[in-house]
Amino acid sequence: MKGTRRWLLQLAVVVLLLTLMGVLINNLAVNLLRTGLGLSFSWLSRPTGFALAEHALPYSPSDSYAWALFVGWINSLKVISAGLVAATILGVLAGSARRSTNPLLRALAALYVSVIRQIPLLLQLFFWYFVALLGLPQSNPSPLGSLFTLTNQGIAVLGVHLSVEFTAVLLALSVFTGASIAEVVRGGLDSVPRGQWEAFRSLGLSERLGLRKVVLPQALPAILPGLSSQYLNLAKNSTLAIAIGYSDLYSVSDTSITQTGRAIEGFLLLLLSFLLLNLLINGVMQLLNRAVIRRGQRS
Amino acid sequence: MRACKALIRHCRFYPIDSVLSLGVIALIIWVLWASISWIVQAADWSVVSSHLPLFASGSYPLDQRWRPLLWISLLAALTLITLIVPIKRGSNRWMGMVLPWCWVFMIPLGLVLMAGGLGLTPVPSRAWGGISLTLLLTVCSAVLALPFGILLALGRTSDLPVLRHSSRLYIDVMRAVPLIAVLFFGKLLIPLFLPMQLEINQVLRAVVAFALFAAAYVAEDVRGGLQAIPETQREAAAVLGLSPLQSLQLVVLPQALRIAIPALTNQAIGLLQNTSLMALLGLVELLGIAQNLLANPAFIGRHLEVYVWLGALYWLFCTAMALLARKIEHSGPTLNGRSA
């Protein structure tokens, strides 16, 4: 009796979902026929005709849409990977500072976290781009000479030139995500029993050494899941780069969709790229997680 | 005083640390001094002060501006009352009963005030903007996302495979895509998926897209709450003769939602912050207004003033939300109208 009811319920859900999908797809087909678009991916091999301000690989407007999207993907990957590193460093520093013995450092870290987390990322991005970076002087003679220059044309460190757009996205992403990572790290540190702190202090270890050798390794299993979700957030948030004209994956997709009118196909490709990116980050984090757990079991 | 004593003790034990602290203190004083002198002297606040109505309500018709302003003031007043009035069990039961209904009432009130109807002149959604639009977007999408998210969470934890897998697919896909892509999808594609005759306005499309997106995150938070409820609770409810539906409604969900409140608050705050993305998609909410203002040649170089003002506003809204949530969390079971 109960079994039949379960089956009936599931059947009802399936029918409901299929009907919903059928109606949506039917509407889509009608609308596509009406606008004469149809579904096709042949536009991917046509030349784009638009230039990209920044490309790590050779690219010209006569290249195909597919290549432009790939270059955008590489640009995204570039800013995401740099952002991951910077945000992690910032977050671990700020998170540890919140449990430091120095009251000033604690207050400073708390201020950072509470201010940054309550202001939208897009506003912060605009601030970094329009105020902090574009507000710099045209030429800025620095005491380090050609080793490090900071102008409103970009940043040059040891011959490597970073564009203003890239720097702004990187700063915004790492400062914003750093604040969230700080909270994750703080939570992880709090999960380590008080006795462990007292133990390394009574052994005469310095705060920094104790944190690195005793507390952080034990906090890692609690930190990693939160960390990987923050990494995924950072990757997703990198799409805001379009707001200041950094040619990331989303911005290239957006331009392609506007030019070709292929909204559905473009969106599908975007979806696939992000699923791929997510799988990548998730995979790496899972490997890390497993390594941490294995190390924990061995010791 | 206690902090002072702690500081002195600290300096005695960690001399190197103290020198470092002095450096940090000097830095903080310098930053504070520079900021204050900029705020008081260098900054030109006229770009903000002469456009206050614009920030509040966008290009809302001049003679009707009192409507969004009234709504914002009512929301602010209600927030203050809720934060100030102590909700203790037993005492002030009257307030504890009335306040939640006031909050519920604010949503249709906001919609009527903004859109018109019931004797008010209709105002098309094109003319909505500023803080009132930001708040309206947040409130409406949150109200839609919560029930949908709860349903998804229940589906995700259900023991019926079809329900479980379809909910899971939805949640995973939504959580994998960036919000701006969902909003873009909403703007471009929702019209494609709807019958030709049905045209829905831009604000509604944004609300739907926000709600569909947020629901996936709400679902995961509610699932966390559901998992924290021990199986014995359901068993106890079953022994008392409650049907599975009743046990869910009266025993499991109220407890699970209470556990999920901190996480849900973060989602709500994130939702408010994320409404700023609509500035990229053509709605003139708070950030959109600011970008429009700054595009005006008369205000070239006034970015910092506008952004500091906006940052302060967003900070205020988010902090108010966090405080409200903390109040709800600590107010006890009287919240849902039943006595403790």
Same-domain pairing of B190 and B289: yes
* Model pLDDT, residue A1: 55
Give yes or no for a contact between A181 and A253, defined as CB atoms under 8 angstroms apart: no
Q: H helices of chain A, where?
A: 2-35, 65-97, 103-117, 121-126, 164-190, 194-202, 207-210, 216-237, 249-260, 263-298
* Residue A141 CB coordination number (10 Å): 9
**What SS3 string covers chain B?**
CHHHHHHHHHHHHCHHHHHHHHHHHHHHHHHHHHHHHHHHHHCCCHHHHCCHHHHHHCCCCHHHCHHHHHHHHHHHHHHHHHHHCCCCCCCCHHHHHHHHHHHHHHHHHHHHHHHCECCECCCCHHHCCHHHHHHHHHHHHHHHHHHHHHHHHHHHHCCCHHHHHHHHHHHHHHHHCCHHHHHHHHHHHHHHHCCCCCCCCHHHHHHHHHHHHHHHHHHHHHHHHHHHCCHHHHHHHHHCCCCHHHHHHHHHHHHHHHHHHHHHHHHHHHHHHHHHHHHHHCCCEHHHHHHHHHHCHHHCCCHHHHHHHHHHHHHHHHHHHHHHHHHHHHCCHHHHCCCC
Same-domain pairing of B71 and B36: no
CA distance B203 to A51: 33
Give the model's confidence band at B281: pLDDT under 50 very low, under 70 low, under 90 confident, else very high. confident
Closest approach of B203 to chain A, Cα-based (Å)? 20
A77 at interface of B, judged by CB pairs closer than 8 A? no
Q: What is the dihedral of CA B14, B17, B18, B20, to 10 degrees?
A: 170
Give yes or no for a contact between A278 and B315, defined as CB atoms under 8 angstroms apart: no
Of the CA atoms within 13 Å of residue A195, those in its CB half-sphere come to 1
- pLDDT, one tens digit per residue, over A84-121 is 999 999 999 999 898 887 788 888 899 999 999 999 99
- pLDDT, one tens digit per residue, over B212-226 is 999 999 999 999 888
Highest-scoring range by mean pLDDT, A180-189, A274-283, B112-121: A180-189
Q: Measuring CA to CA, which residue among A248, A266, A224 is closest to residue A81?
A: A248
pLDDT, greater one: B113 or B196: B113
- pLDDT, one tens digit per residue, over A61-74 is 888 888 889 999 99
Tokens, residue A176: 């914003």
At CA B73, angle to CA A126 and CA B90, rounded to 5? Answer: 115
Tokens, residue A10: 């599931």
Q: Is the pLDDT of residue B338 over 50?
A: no
Contact A239 B176 (CB under 8 A): no
Give the model's confidence band at B337: pLDDT under 50 very low, under 70 low, under 90 confident, else very high. very low
* Residue A122 CB coordination number (10 Å): 25
Domain-located, residue B158: yes
Compute the count of residue pairs across chains A and B with CB atoms less than 8 Å apart: 137
Closest approach of B340 to chain A, Cα-based (Å)? 32
Domain-located, residue B59: no
pLDDT, greater one: B50 or B267: B267
Tokens, residue A39: 């579904």
Which CATH number characterizes residue B269's domain? Answer: 1.10.3720.10
Same-domain pairing of B122 and B221: yes
Closest approach of B194 to chain A, Cα-based (Å)? 6
* Model pLDDT, residue A291: 85
Domain-located, residue B159: yes
Closest approach of B237 to chain A, Cα-based (Å)? 19
3-state secondary structure of A57: coil
**CB neighbour list of residue A286: distance below 8 Å, 6 or more residues apart:** none
CA distance B109 to B97: 19
- pLDDT, one tens digit per residue, over A45-60 is 788 778 787 877 788 8
Interhelix angle A2-35/B161-176, nearest 10 degrees:
40
Q: Is the pLDDT of residue A131 over 90?
A: no
- In this structure, which topology does domain A73-298 adopt according to CATH? MetI-like fold (1.10.3720)
Q: Is the pLDDT of residue B334 over 80?
A: no
Mean pLDDT of A214-230: 87
CA distance B153 to B148: 9
Mean pLDDT of B143-155: 92
CA distance B223 to B122: 41
Domain-located, residue B143: yes
3-state secondary structure of A287: helix
* Model pLDDT, residue B198: 62
Same-domain pairing of B146 and B264: yes
CA distance B320 to B221: 21
CA distance A252 to A69: 6
Q: Is the pLDDT of residue B340 over 50?
A: no
CA distance A4 to B160: 12
For residue B321, which amino acid is it?
A: M
CA distance A79 to A238: 8
Q: Is the pLDDT of residue A245 over 90?
A: no
Q: Is the pLDDT of residue A31 over 80?
A: no
* Model pLDDT, residue B255: 87
Which residue's structure tokens are 């996936």? B216
Find the residue in A nearest to B4 (Cα): A103
Domain-located, residue B49: no
CA distance B17 to B33: 24
Same-domain pairing of B174 and B37: no
Tell me the CA distances in angstroms from A246 to A75, A122, A223, one per residue in order.
9, 14, 31
Same-domain pairing of B1 and B119: no
Domain of residue B235, residue span: 65-336
CA distance B116 to B56: 18
Q: Please state, for a pLDDT cut of 90, what percent of chain B lies above it.
A: 16
Contact A13 B184 (CB under 8 A): no
Give yes or no for a contact between B87 and B95, defined as CB atoms under 8 angstroms apart: yes
Highest-scoring range by mean pLDDT, A222-226, B115-119, B331-335: A222-226
A271 at interface of B, judged by CB pairs closer than 8 A? yes
Using CB atoms, pick whichever of B14, B181, B276 lies closest to residue A122.
B276
| Pick among B1, B16, B158, B184 to test the A interface (most A CBs inside 10 A) | B184
Same-domain pairing of B183 and B301: yes
* Residue B40 CB coordination number (10 Å): 9
At CA B312, angle to CA B310 and CA B316, rounded to 5? Answer: 115
Give the model's confidence band at B138: pLDDT under 50 very low, under 70 low, under 90 confident, else very high. very high
- pLDDT, one tens digit per residue, over B3-50 is 777 767 766 766 777 787 788 888 889 988 988 988 888 877 877 778
For chain B, the average pLDDT equals: 83
State the total domains in chain B: 2
Same-domain pairing of B82 and B26: no
CA distance B207 to B190: 12
Give yes or no for a contact between A154 and A167, defined as CB atoms under 8 angstroms apart: yes
Using CB atoms, pick whichever of A34, A117, A274 lies closest to residue B178.
A274
Using CB atoms, pick whichever of B7, B188, B276 lies closest to residue A120.
B276
Q: Measuring CA to CA, which residue among A223, A220, A236, A247 is closest to residue A176?
A: A236
Same-domain pairing of B271 and B331: yes
Q: Is the pLDDT of residue A193 over 60?
A: yes
Q: Is the pLDDT of residue A298 over 70?
A: no
- pLDDT, one tens digit per residue, over B223-254 is 988 888 888 888 898 889 888 888 888 888 88
Same-domain pairing of B252 and B309: yes
Q: Measuring CA to CA, which residue among B231, B220, B213, B217 is closest to residue B156?
A: B220
CA distance A144 to A149: 8
* Residue B168 CB coordination number (10 Å): 14
* Model pLDDT, residue B212: 92
- pLDDT, one tens digit per residue, over B93-105 is 666 677 778 888 8
* Model pLDDT, residue A23: 83
For residue A43, which amino acid is it?
A: W
Closest approach of B288 to chain A, Cα-based (Å)? 10
For chain A, the average pLDDT equals: 85
Same-domain pairing of B31 and B99: no
Q: Is the pLDDT of residue B85 over 80?
A: no
A240 at interface of B, judged by CB pairs closer than 8 A? yes
Find the residue in B nearest to A206 (Cα): B14
* Model pLDDT, residue A2: 64
Delimit the domains of chain A by residue range: 73-298
Using CB atoms, pick whichever of B25, B176, B303 lies closest to residue A275.
B176
A256 at interface of B, judged by CB pairs closer than 8 A? no
Same-domain pairing of B69 and B38: no
User: Which phi and psi (to 5°) does residue A154 adopt?
Assistant: 140, -175
Which residue's structure tokens are 């003002």? B309
